[in-house]
């Protein structure tokens, strides 16, 4: 085992399994299909990481975020991003209290357990940057005073890949701060029929918590105790290093499309996600499949392809599969 890392007990694993099962069950009862979205939100919750959801409108992104919040009895906040949105509209501002003749700090909607940034790419670069401190430092500053954000703090940002007019592309620095980027697809025929049936039966109106935030804090602390072998750590680093040296690792016909590889934050994300995946699967230790299970969501927004890739229709997933295939699994 890792030096200084206490071993996870059987009782802790059993408690974690019960909590995770309750969250999964509640999500499935409220959201039709979108199982990978539910799994991704759960992983973000366990790691206290942020997630970027990309899809056309109407695929239950907001619903999924609200359902996950209800399940854990958290505080939910929704911010509709528009070009005229100001940083103070997100983090808060100072207001003048005429009764006391003093300025008071008023916290913005970012102060919540789950913050939904709807259509984040519609806000200006200045407003997008207002979230950087909150996402990275879990703190905000208003009038020279710093406020710590809640212990459980997850930003769920959405963007529409179709509409580009009136949008501001997220910078690589901000993209890198998202633990995962998930692309959503349309539901199948039977799933859409089930959605209509549930709407008709009006079952989406009732909500109740199945666990509490103390349970989530327990899971987050337990995640950090999951054992990851040095050989798997080296495997993670080899994957990240390979993304930066594609001209050596990959065939020339694929390597030519890669503009920039993944950062060290990608390696950290791989490790944190692998631990969370192991815990969800009822284990106190990681295996290589835990690393590979969410490779697309971890790397697709961190590997930058050039214009030639766009012209030839080459996707990030193709490059990611080639990198994983070129790196030896321990």
Residue 4 has pLDDT above 60, yes or no: no
* Least confident window among 77-81, 91-95, 115-119, 128-132: 128-132
Q: Where in the chain is the domain with CATH 1.10.8.80?
A: 227-330
Assign 19 to helix, strand or coil. Answer: helix
Rounded to whole angstroms, the Cα distance separating 258 from 239 reads 15
Between 173 and 46, the higher pLDDT residue:
46
Rounded to whole angstroms, the Cα distance separating 283 from 185 reads 30
> What's the average model confidence in pLDDT over 99-119?
87
Q: Where in the chain is the domain with CATH 3.40.50.300?
A: 8-225
The superfamily CATH assigns to domain 227-330 is: Magnesium chelatase subunit I, C-Terminal domain (1.10.8.80)
- pLDDT number for residue 166: 60
- Top mean-pLDDT range of 147-151, 156-160, 208-212, 280-284: 280-284
> What's the average model confidence in pLDDT over 77-91?
88
pLDDT tens figures, 152-175:
999 999 988 776 666 777 778 888
| 199 pLDDT tier (thresholds 50, 70, 90) | confident
> What's the average model confidence in pLDDT over 229-235?
96
Q: How many CA atoms lie within 13 A of 6 on its CB side?
A: 6
Rounded to whole angstroms, the Cα distance separating 320 from 298 reads 10
Q: What residue spans of the chain are helical by DSSP H?
A: 10-30, 35-47, 61-71, 87-91, 125-137, 172-175, 189-201, 213-225, 230-244, 246-249, 252-255, 264-280, 288-292, 295-299, 307-312, 316-326
| 328 pLDDT tier (thresholds 50, 70, 90) | very high
pTM value is 0.90
CATH topology of domain 8-225: Rossmann fold (3.40.50)
Between β-strands 76-80 and 114-118, what pairing exists: parallel, antiparallel or unpaired? parallel
- pLDDT number for residue 256: 92
In this structure, what DSSP letter does residue 159 have?
E
Mean pLDDT of the chain: 89
- pLDDT number for residue 267: 96
- pLDDT number for residue 3: 46
> What's the average model confidence in pLDDT over 240-261?
91
Percent of the chain predicted with pLDDT > 70:
96
Rounded to whole angstroms, the Cα distance separating 41 from 208 reads 18
């Amino acid at each position: 085992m890792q030096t200084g890392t206490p071993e996870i007990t059987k009782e802790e694993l059993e408690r974690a399994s019960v909590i995770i099962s309750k969250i999964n069950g509640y999500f499935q009862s409220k959201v039709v299909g979108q199982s990978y979205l539910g799994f991704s939100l759960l992983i973000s919750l366990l790691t206290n990481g942020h997630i970027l959801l990309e899809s056309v409108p109407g695929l239950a992104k907001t619903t999924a975020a609200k359902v996950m919040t209800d399940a854990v009895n958290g505080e939910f906040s929704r911010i509709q991003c528009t070009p005229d949105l100001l940083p103070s509209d997100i983090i808060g501002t100072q207001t003048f209290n005429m009764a006391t003749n003093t300025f008071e700090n008023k916290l913005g909607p970012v102060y919540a357990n789950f913050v939904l940034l709807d259509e984040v790419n519609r806000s200006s670069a200045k407003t997008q940057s207002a979230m950087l401190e909150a996402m990275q430092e879990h703190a905000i500053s208003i009038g020279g005073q710093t406020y710590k954000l809640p212990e459980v703090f997850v930003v769920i940002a959405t963007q529409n890949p179709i509409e580009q007019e009136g949008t501001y592309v997220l910078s690589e620095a901000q993209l890198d701060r998202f633990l995962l980027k998930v692309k959503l697809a349309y539901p199948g025929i039977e799933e859409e029929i089930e959605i209509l049936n549930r709407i008709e039966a009006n079952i989406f109106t009732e909500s109740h918590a199945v666990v509490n935030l103390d349970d989530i804090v327990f899971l987050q602390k337990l995640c950090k105790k999951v054992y990851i072998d040095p050989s798997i750590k080296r495997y993670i680093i080899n994957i990240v290093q390979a993304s930066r040296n594609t001209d050596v690792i990959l065939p020339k016909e694929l390597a030519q499309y890669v503009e920039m590889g993944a950062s060290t934050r990608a390696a950290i994300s791989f490790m944190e996600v692998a631990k969370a995946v192991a815990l969800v699967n009822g284990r106190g230790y990681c295996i290589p499949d835990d690393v590979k299970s969410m490779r697309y969501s971890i790397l697709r927004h961190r590997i930058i392809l050039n214009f030639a890739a766009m012209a030839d229709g080459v996707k990030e997933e193709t490059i990611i599969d080639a990198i994983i295939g070129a790196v030896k699994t321990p």
